[in-house]
Structures are given as structure tokens and as C-alpha cells.
């Protein structure tokens, strides 16, 4: 796992000090309950992030590249699976290397994604869910870069 990313994962704080807003550590058993196809598709560092740090379900606010405040609620293994197999846009853009790392808790419905082919500390994109079921069209018309890297999303956390 990328050192910068680990640095920020150790310091991340929830939006508020409410117990239900804090993240949870996922178990290795939860990982093994995923379909085998998804187990092999997920980068190893994602498994490490979710099984060593209380990230799943965590809600944070952050300053996006455009300077606007945004919020993310990080996915656990079950939500990653739902977005991989069932939900759009996740199910239609997975063949292009994208999988959902979180939801927008403010109600926009536009989830957050990373591309598995962009390294161990990849950029974070918010992708609109109301474009199409055609993955190429979704990526062309509905993808917005919100953080240059996952670690910069945590670095730019708003308190």
C-alpha cells in the first residue's frame, strides 16, 4: 500500500463524533464471502485498507479539486459487490477498470470511483448515475475528477 495513503488512513476522522458515522474495519471473512470474480478483481491494497483501517461506512467531508466541499461515505465489501454486480453506473463501468469506493451521503446519488489500473494511490472520480447504461458514454459524459489521489482526498479533509 502507498505510504502517503497509509499516513492519512491512520489520521482520518469522521464528519462528527457520532458512533454511527465512524467507520468499521471489515473482516477477512467478509472479503471471502465476495464472489470469486470480485475477489480476484479487487486490488490487494483495497483489501488491506478495508481490513486494517476503520474505513467502511466512514463519512468525511473534503475539499475537491474544484475547491468545493464534498462528502463521501466509504463502501465496505457488501457495497462494493452491489456496485459491481447490480447498481449503475458501477456495473457498466467495471469492465473499464472502475469500481465504487463510496457514496455521496448528501443525496446526489453520484458515487465515487477509482480505476484499478491507476496504481496504489489512484485519482478519485465522482461519476453521475443518470447518464446511461453504456459504460463508455458514462465515462465520457459523467466522470468528474474530485481528488488527484486517494491520499489527497484524505489530506484535504474538512473538519
Mind listing the pLDDT tens digit for each residue in 27-65? 999 999 999 989 889 999 999 999 999 999 999 999 999
pLDDT at 16 > cutoff 80:
no
**Residue among 139, 136, 141, 114 at smallest CA distance from 125:** 114
Taking residue 62's Cβ as centre, other Cβ atoms within 10 Å add up to 19
Q: Tell me 27's DSSP state.
A: P
pLDDT at 20 > cutoff 60:
no
The CATH number of the domain holding residue 72 is 3.40.1580
Domain that holds residue 136: 3-158
Q: Which residue stretches of the chain are H helix?
A: 3-9, 28-32, 36-41, 44-52, 77-85, 90-93, 135-142, 150-155
pLDDT at 155 > cutoff 80:
yes
Quick: pLDDT tens for 87-133. 999 999 999 999 999 999 998 889 999 999 999 999 999 999 999 99
The number of distinct structural domains making up the chain is 1
Amino acid at each position: 500500500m502507498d505510504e502517503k495513503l497509509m499516513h492519512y488512513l491512520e489520521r482520518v476522522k469522521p464528519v462528527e463524533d457520532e458512533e454511527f458515522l465512524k467507520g468499521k474495519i471489515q473482516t477477512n471473512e467478509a472479503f471471502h464471502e465476495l464472489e470469486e470474480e470480485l475477489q480476484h478483481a479487487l486490488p490487494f491494497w483495497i483489501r488491506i485498507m478495508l481490513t486494517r483501517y476503520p474505513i467502511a461506512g466512514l463519512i468525511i467531508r473534503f475539499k475537491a479539486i474544484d475547491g468545493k466541499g464534498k462528502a463521501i461515505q466509504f463502501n465496505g465489501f457488501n457495497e462494493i459487490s452491489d456496485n459491481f454486480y447490480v447498481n449503475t453506473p458501477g456495473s457498466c463501468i467495471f469492465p473499464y477498470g472502475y469500481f465504487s469506493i463510496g457514496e455521496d451521503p448528501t443525496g446526489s446519488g453520484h458515487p465515487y470511483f477509482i480505476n484499478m489500473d491507476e496504481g496504489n494511490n489512484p485519482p478519485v472520480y465522482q461519476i453521475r448515475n443518470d447518464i446511461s447504461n453504456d459504460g463508455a458514454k458514462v465515462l465520457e459524459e459523467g466522470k468528474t475528477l474530485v481528488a488527484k489521489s486517494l491520499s489527497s482526498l484524505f489530506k484535504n479533509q474538512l473538519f
